[in-house]
Structures are given as C-alpha cells and as structure tokens.
Amino acid sequence: EAQVTQNPRYLITVTGKKLTVTCSQNMNHEYMSWYRQDPGLGLRQIYYSMNVEVTDKGDVPEGYKVSRKEKRNFPLILESPSPNQTSLYFCASSLRGAETYEQYFGPGTRLTVT
Amino acid sequence: AQTVTQSQPEMSVQEAETVTLSCTYDTSENNYYLFWYKQPPSRQMILVIRQEAYKQQNATENRFSVNFQKAAKSFSLKISDSQLGDTAMYFCARPASSNTGKLIFGQGTTLQVKP
C-alpha cells in the first residue's frame, strides 16, 4: 500500500530533551516536507526537500533540523524542544515539487513539550 | 507578505445542500497551481481538487468544484449535495513561488454538515 508513515504518533516530552520524529514514504517520491498545524494558523511549512541531500527552509524552521540521506526517509529533529513547539506535525511527500503535484500526508504526530 | 486567506473559520450546511468556502491569495506569479485539501476528524489530509491558473475552465471533481477568479485572486470551493462525510476542515494552498517546493496554506475553514 502506498503511504507515508510517521513515528511516533503521540509524544510527550520535557523541555530540552532531544527527539526525532521519523517519516518514511514508499512511493519513490522526490519531494518531502514537514508541516506543523496550530489552531488558527493552518499548516505552516517547516522544511522541505526536493531530492536526496537537498533541503531548504520553509516558513518556520527555527528550532528544527532535517536530513535527507535516503530518498524514502526525512526525519525531523528537535535538538532542544521548547513548549512553543507543542503542535501537530505532518510529513508529506509528492512525486516532485508540491507547488505542482499532489501531496500525500502522513497520519500526523501530536507532540507535547512540557 | 505572501498570504492565503480563508475568511470563514467555521461554516455549517444542511445535508444535501450546497456550500461555498472562500479563499483569497496574493501572488506575483502568472502560472501556478492552487489546491484545496481536506482534513476530516481522522486528521488525515487528502487532496480535494487542484486548479491550474492558466486554465480558464474551473476544475471539477464529482461534487466538488472551484470558482477561480484569477484577476481577483480568488479560489473558492463549492460542495454540492453535501454529505455527512464532508464534515472536515478545509485548507486552501498555493505555492510561494514556482519551482521552490514552498507551499503556503490558509488558516482553514471548519465545515459541519448537519443531518
């Protein structure tokens, strides 16, 4: 089944404790992206990747890191999480750039930072 | 500032009736795509419909259609014969610019379909 998977689905952590949210797609898509969703703000793009070893900042990259060493994986790293990073996170992929192609979204990761 | 504006935070409609969700945007591009995504209570985001700006014909997908007014930078979504399964949050989105992969979403409109 073609899909985007994210893990974990739910995470409660404490300020400053490094964490990684994994994202994997099995559709051989070139493009992958991370978003955060907050009430009243919609989805905001954190980072995106047009292909392996190519990443770029979205609108809200501060406090996040990403890497794209393999085509299928695009992990999101929070080196020192803070409470303002409490949010719902989505990973997405598309055949090529999301400005043209349909994005397929993962199921979301609910992160709470206390 | 590059923005996508959905001015209706919440809407409701009776089952089988028609509802229109509004979206306005700004852009300096001439050719681009616009998207409507749906997020039901399950949180799974799925594409509803996509419009190419250079096409004058409005996109249609079954009960979903758009009213695209390029000059006015308006991109509304019309849902005909509303069904209970249409209850969801709907997001309008447009590219920040061509060939960058950056996508800008609106704030979302929560639609409740009532039986």
Distant-in-sequence, close-in-space partners of A75: CB < 8 Å, separation ≥ 6: A20, A21, A22, A23, A66, A67
Of A31, A42, A107, the CB nearest to B101: A31
What DSSP string describes A18-32?
-EEEEEEESS--SEE
Question: What is residue A96's predicted lDDT score, i.e. its pLDDT?
Answer: 84
Q: What is the pLDDT confidence band of residue B32, given thresholds at 50, 70 and 90?
A: confident
Of A49, A56, A99, the CB nearest to B33: A99
Instruction: Assess whether pLDDT exceeds 60 at residue B1.
Output: no
pLDDT digits (tens, 9 = 90+) for A48-87: 999 999 999 998 999 999 999 999 999 999 999 999 999 9
The answer to whether B99 contacts A97, with C-beta atoms less than 8 Å apart, is yes
Q: Beta strands of B1-115 (E only): which ranges?
A: 4-5, 10-14, 19-21, 24-25, 33-39, 46-52, 60-61, 64-69, 74-79, 88-95, 103-105, 109-114
Q: Name the residue of chain B whose CA is nearest to A88's CA.
A: B43
B106 contact residues in A (CB cutoff 8 A): 42
Burial class (CB in 10 A: 0-12, 13-18, 19+), B64: middle
Distance from CA of A67 to the nearest CA of B (A): 16
